[in-house]
A and B are shown apart, each in its own frame.
Chain A
Amino acid sequence: MQIVRFVFGAVFLIIGLLSCIVGVIGVFKFKYAANRMHAAAINDTLGISLCMLGLSVLAPDIASALKMILVIIFFWISAPVASHLLCRLEVETNEEREQYMELHVIEGTEADADKNTAGAPEMEEKVEEAENETADGQKMTAEASDTQIASMDNMVKGETA
């Protein structure tokens, strides 16, 4: 029984470590940060879940085995979100992103606004707003936010009508 348990755990652990090695090699093989993220995700999902499964088989008591399973569940929830935020950071801060990927911007999203402001009139308004605020204190902010809310309301109405 002991031997069966050991073999089971050891096999899982070794496969997990192999996938970790694959992930770390991938981090050096790929040429672009967003591609490297793919390799890192192998480490974060497959590697850790296989290792923790093996270790929970080998664990000294049932409580620690359950805690290790909890670590797997935690990683399944958290690792994709961490990847999402990293990817967002990468897409947003990389100025030469066009040479690595194709961007399809959906109208009305944040990225759309970014694209428009890259060299352009809307930004100018925003800048002026900001400067007015420095000069006139707080009142301008309130007005600006009011107008923003109003325009948003109009948009909503237009969509529904």
Chain B
Amino acid sequence: MSDRKSDLPGGRFVRWLNQDQDVLERQMIAAQNREPDSDEEMEEAWRRERFLEDQKEEEVVASRLEALNERKVPVIGRVVYMLGCMLICIAMIMLLLYTVTTLPGFGGEIDPAQNEVPRRYIEQGLQETGALNIVTGMILDYRAFDTLGESTVLFAAAMVVLFLLRLDPESNRYSTLAASIREEPYADTFYEPKNDSILQHTAKILTPVAFLLGIYVVLNGHLTPGGGFSGGAIVGAGLVLHVTAFGFEDIRRFFTYRTYQRTVVTALLTYAFSKTYSFYTGANGIESIIPLGMPGAILSGGLILLLNICVGFIVTCTVYVLYAVFRKGDV
């Protein structure tokens, strides 16, 4: 039984609890037995040992998962589980359909949505925000604080994915593992066809087109439908296209983890500061020095253009980073 316990992932803790073996004992013995030739070599050995330990732990977890998947469940239990699932699904669908039937009709005159707020947006939105596209005027002027929250949520999501999946090459514990994940036979992209010259020549033509299209959508956010979120997604798609054609080594020339951090943080701070200014002037009744411009021109709508660009940067970086992390475990 004790063997079984020590095989578990928490085995070290259990051993320490039972005082079978000191956690650090093995490492200390290993360190004593070893002639300290040089610091580097020792460090390398430690790392390798840790790497092997990690691998063993992973194997144990994988075998347990396999056993869990292969365990025999009685037929009745399976049937009950299936029926329960179906029941819950049908109940959810019924509940949602019932809710839909009680909703007010679309565009009716006595809807709760038809109050003074949208009337004000429609009637005075153009004068107050200077944006032809009323939706952009709403999300980046009247409700800009909400959009800042959205961008921050996006940033936080990307950050959490990075925390969970990224192996920092500079950290002590994972350095070997991180290096090995990026090197040849362990890399996720190792088996993929690379250097397809047809695809590369096409990507050379099409990536700038995708970038241009995305930038156009971002810059025209206050005139036509679109804006920071959709335009950023298109530019991110262009980056993904480039990566697919040329590989991750090529894109590391201009886009690394550091670039991501700096770009996104700068964009978020710019957004926050510029909006702080407009909130301050708006709340205190001070005349803003930013002109609204002629509606319909590209330089109009006050701060909306700047905010759109910031959101575009954030979305671009996040789209690309999520793709890279899920494909490769690194940026």
Contact = CB atoms under 8 A, between A and B. Distances in A.
Interface of A: 74, 77-78, 81, 84-85, 88, 110, 130, 133, 137-138, 141, 145
Given A138-B183, A141-B184, A77 B48 contact: no
B189 interface: no
Interface in B147-186: 176, 179-180, 183-185
Contacts of A130: 185
B205 interface: yes
Leading 3 A-B pairs by shortest Cβ distance: A81-B202, A130-B185, A84-B198
B198 A81 contact: yes
A78 B2 CA distance: 61
Contacts of A145: 184
A133 B184 CA distance: 10
Given A88-B193, A133-B185, A141-B184, A77 B198 contact: no
A138 B202 contact: no
B298 to A, nearest CB: 15
A61 to B, nearest CB: 12
Contacts of A78: 202, 206
B199 A138 contact: no
A71 to B, nearest CB: 11
Interface string B111-153: 0000000000000000000000000000000000000000000
A88 B199 CA distance: 12
B209 interface: yes
Given A74-B206, A74-B209, A77-B206, A85 B185 contact: no
B214 to A, nearest CB: 14
Dominant SS among interface residues on chain B: helix
A132 B209 CA distance: 45
Interface string B277-312: 000000000000000000000000000000000000
Contacts of A138: 176, 179-180, 183
29 contacts: A74-B206, A74-B209, A77-B202, A77-B205, A77-B206, A78-B202, A78-B206, A81-B199, A81-B202, A84-B198, A84-B199, A85-B196, A85-B199, A88-B193, A88-B196, A110-B193, A130-B185, A133-B184, A133-B185, A137-B44, A137-B48, A137-B51, A137-B176, A137-B180, A138-B176, A138-B180, A138-B183, A141-B183, A141-B184
Contacts of B196: 85, 88
Interface residues of B, number: 17
Contacts of B185: 130, 133
Interface of B: 44, 48, 51, 176, 179-180, 183-185, 193, 196, 198-199, 202, 205-206, 209
B128 to A, nearest CB: 28
Nearest to B245: A81
A127 to B, nearest CB: 10
Given A88-B193, A137-B51, 19 more contacts: A74-B209, A77-B202, A77-B205, A77-B206, A78-B202, A78-B206, A81-B199, A84-B199, A85-B196, A88-B196, A130-B185, A133-B184, A133-B185, A137-B44, A137-B176, A138-B179, A138-B183, A141-B184, A145-B184
A117 B183 CA distance: 22
A81 B196 CA distance: 10
Contacts of B205: 77
Contacts of B202: 77-78, 81
A85 B48 CA distance: 40
A107 B202 CA distance: 26
Among B51, B185, B196, B206, chain A packs the most CB atoms within 10 A around the CB of B185
A77 B205 CA distance: 9
A106 to B, nearest CB: 15
B231 to A, nearest CB: 16
Nearest to A131: B185
A133 B187 CA distance: 13
Contacts of A74: 206, 209
B192 to A, nearest CB: 11
B208 to A, nearest CB: 12
A133 B193 CA distance: 22
